[in-house]
Structure 1
């Protein structure tokens, strides 16, 4: 399986990879700073039906469908390296989408059984509130992956273009994902810095949830890029 010379040119529209992340970050920054806390919590930050939480379920669902589309593409041999890589993205997206909506409980409002409430610290029908191994650790792995794959490797590949000839380079994006990756890290980094300095002010309300939005967008944009690349393989 070889690639055309344009395989690794990520021609995403500029409004998507640059302006959309910036505008979303500015909107969340301004609404968090200007809206009354209760209004923000009711409409944007609500842990069950807020805009942020809902986006955490919908965007990964779209990513899951994209990942499946890539895996089924005729240019992606079953059980190849790329197939398994995208399978990992599909499983992660499916898990995030389901977990963020508590597998539908946030929308359909069913009750949690007494037995499950004993092991789930928020009394919801999900897994990530039962153990850090199903919540914080997968999130940390994703965050590290975004830093490496969205910032470090694209910068290295830009300085050393010959690396693009590596057989596995198809999974490394160009710098088009840099804005989303940087915003994802900045939202939480500012919160950690202010907390370390014992400053009560926060730029973003519920910064971890804002960060999750950009994590989800990063994966979505990444899979769009991979699909475009796969279509150019011959």
Structure 2
């Protein structure tokens, strides 16, 4: 039996030791081991949100028509989001069932909540099937919905709540991996947190939405730039959806990988037993 230890495995490491191991090459190498992927794929994972963000900015600056195609209702960004949330929902259900079978009831219950959240997100992106089946929005509902569709996030007065929730989700995926690594007080909760904390290489998938939503919730945008700025949220929501999907892929394929018992990623300790 061989044990391999990751960047976060030694909970007794001093802060200086941790800092010495936090060079970018070390982080990339450790991430490749934890994800069981070649280095170039880890680089691709890290660079993907930056590439999407840059593409969105470039389209907004170069071509209004191309930008609309990418960010409009039923456009490229929304379609990929919907697919990502549906796949993530399936993975989350599988994870929930496995956790219940392993008698890990608390994380399983948390995943039940995640399943409901992903079902809601997928439903909202698809207007709960309205676009697929083409049903008419009731007149009373159309009057209170900005786009006259059967969803909740476009109801007048409700959208602001969703914007703050997006910021909270972005903060969760940004700061929890960092907090979990740096705070030894969380060590005793690692068995729980290993299932619900995104890996630190996924931080870019959350931090952009957090920063954007913080800015949009606190500051008004000049009217002349409103369209470009408002629609840019679709770009960041796409990045978030991919981050959630990758989080579930990582947790499902590595956290409950048969033949291995592991404490994953930024959860402060990963000791993998190869049987």
Query: TM above 0.5, one fold?
Result: yes
- Residue 63 of structure 1: how far off its partner (Å): 0.8
Contact residue 187 and residue 207 of structure 1 kept, 8 A:
no
Q: Which segments of 5 or more consecutive residues in structure 2 lack a partner in the other structure?
A: 10-30, 263-275
Q: Deviations over 1:66-124 (max 9, x none)?
A: 10110122675467111111111111111111111212223443322334324434221
Distance 1:84 1:142 in 2: 22
Q: Which segments of 5 or more consecutive residues in structure 1 lack a partner in the other structure?
A: none
- Look up the SS of the partner of 2:149 in the other structure: coil
Superposition RMSD on alpha carbons, in Å? Answer: 3.3
* Structure 2 counterpart of 1:130: 155
Q: Following superposition, which runs of at least 4 residues in structure 1 exceed 6 angstroms of deviation?
A: 4-9
Distance 1:109 1:217 in 2: 27
Contact residue 99 and residue 126 of structure 1 kept, 8 A:
yes
- Within a 5 Å distance, the mapping from 1:95-110 to structure 2 comes to 95-110=120-135
Q: TM-score, normalised by structure 2?
A: 0.67
* Structure 2 counterpart of 1:25: 53
* Structure 1 counterpart of 2:240: 215
Q: TM-score, normalised by structure 1?
A: 0.78
Bigger Rg, which one: 2
- Return the match for 1:73 from 91, 95, 98: 98
* Structure 2 counterpart of 1:50: 75
Distance 1:87 1:194, change over 3 A: same
Contact residue 60 and residue 216 of structure 1 kept, 8 A:
yes
Contact residue 169 and residue 210 of structure 2 kept, 8 A:
no
